[in-house]
Chain A
Amino acid sequence: MRFMVLVKATKESEAGVMPTQQELAAMGAFNEQLVKAGVLLAADGLQASSKGARVTFNGAERTVVDGPFAETKELIAGFWILQCRSKAEVIEWMRRCPNPYPFEGGYIEIRQIFEADDFPTADTGR
């Protein structure tokens, strides 16, 4: 089963402050452990919302708004996609993750990705 792990934005990430060499090295070492265990499918960081945009849907209407966006803690700053045996395993891995919020603290969010099995089939009505 696969999980997406989401890292939220911070004041610093929104201001475009890059991680220090030390922080990068620690995260690199953590990711390498994930690769060696065969669980890391993908991981990337996202640039500040000032480089993004929103397309808002309202009936047939589409409105485009360029970033930045104010509500920092609702924004996403990065993600991993992990393939693990259980949610518990993902949790164990992520507890070992270097703190992505060295300044004010924060949480990462673990979400399970839908797999083929999760979709209802006509004969079982699942």
Chain B
Amino acid sequence: MTSSEAHAAIEAVWRLEAPKLTAGLMRFVRDLGVAEDLAHDALVAAFEQWPADGVPRNPGAWLMQAVRLASVLEVIYLVFNEGYAATAGEDWIRPSLCEEALRLGRTLATLLPADAEVHGLVGLMELHASRFRARVGPNGEAVLLLDQDRGRWDRLLIGRGLAALARAVALDGGGGFYALQAAIAACHVRAATPEATDWARIAALYARRVDVTRSPIVRLNHAVAVGRAEGPAAGLALVDALTADPSLAAYPYLPSARGDLLERLGRIEEARTEFERAATLTRNSRDRDALLARAGSLEAQVPRHSQFPTSNSTRPRWKLEVAVGSCRSAALSTAE
């Protein structure tokens, strides 16, 4: 079968099946936007597999199965995320939720050993979980990725996460939604020091994610990684292209990422305004404290003496954990 024949078949099946798929998904996720996104994921999977493997005998059932697995993974990841970065309230981490999600994911991986995305998701969760101990400081405050004591990262979970990622890569090249994020997390855990981080690879992985998701949040993360790999000016140009996006209008990580790049360019007053704006947008009180502290630290600076601010490990580098180490997914955030 030629690829265009397969595509024509997919489109025909899609017209018949999409409403049924979306309706079925609504029962799981109770959110029309999420249900449509998941149904769309199944369509993307069909476009990848059917031209190579042929149109399945029962295309509707195939799509539903793809969608069900995608929605199961989605729900597991939502649970993990809610534990990993509580959206609202006092606490940064609710470990019991993460443990439940990890446990479900590991169980699913033994049930579906040939499914690359399951391994990608497990790898992603193991790698994020490996940093738990280092994410909270002595006063309960957030410690961000580049400021974390890497000696406190859990080597056992890192080993498990890298192994799961390797399984995903062996199965399908590691280009899936979760495997790409796991590959980004892997770049961080492989670096013995923050300076050793392979930002060029991270930026390239985010570029692949932008192709897959077209999400403005992923584009923001890509911009931050480019800001590290190629310098703040290159990053700022990409971030500025996102400021008009209405879906990011209330997204605190946009002004915080912008503030960081502005600070590194020596535009201190603009940077301070951005951190303050980010603080008004976040709903997590610890996030707010970290952002206000950062804005306050800039207030004391005289702009002409800070043309080339040095990296200061005591200053919360807020956006990096959030933007580069981001593990937020679809239904939690507005767009991804």
Contacts and interface: CB of A to CB of B under 8 A. Distances in A.
Contact of A115 (B111, B133, B157, B160): B133
Given A115-B133, A116-B95, A121 B138 contact: yes
A94 interface: no
A99 B160 CA distance: 28
A116 B156 contact: no
Contacts, number: 44
Interface in B98-152: 99, 102-107, 110-111, 132-133, 135-136, 138-140
A1 B99 contact: yes
Nearest to B157: A41
- Among B104, B105, B139, which residue has the most Cβ atoms of chain A within 10 A? B139
B114 to A, nearest CB: 16
B222 to A, nearest CB: 30
A121 B110 CA distance: 38
A116 B106 contact: no
Contact of B107 (A38, A42, A81, A115): A38
A42 B156 CA distance: 8
B139 A117 contact: no
Given A116-B95, A116-B133, A117-B95, A39 B138 contact: no
Interface residues of B, number: 22
A122 B138 CA distance: 6
Nearest to B111: A36
A123 interface: yes
A38 B139 contact: no
17 contacts: A35-B110, A36-B111, A37-B103, A37-B107, A39-B103, A41-B157, A42-B156, A83-B103, A85-B99, A115-B95, A115-B132, A116-B93, A116-B95, A121-B138, A121-B140, A122-B138, A123-B140
- Counting from the closest, the 9 A-B pairs by CB-CB distance are A38-B106, A38-B103, A38-B107, A116-B133, A36-B110, A122-B139, A121-B140, A122-B138, A123-B139
Interface of B: 93, 95-96, 99, 102-107, 110-111, 132-133, 135-136, 138-140, 156-157, 160
Interface of A: 1, 35-39, 41-42, 81, 83, 85, 115-117, 121-124
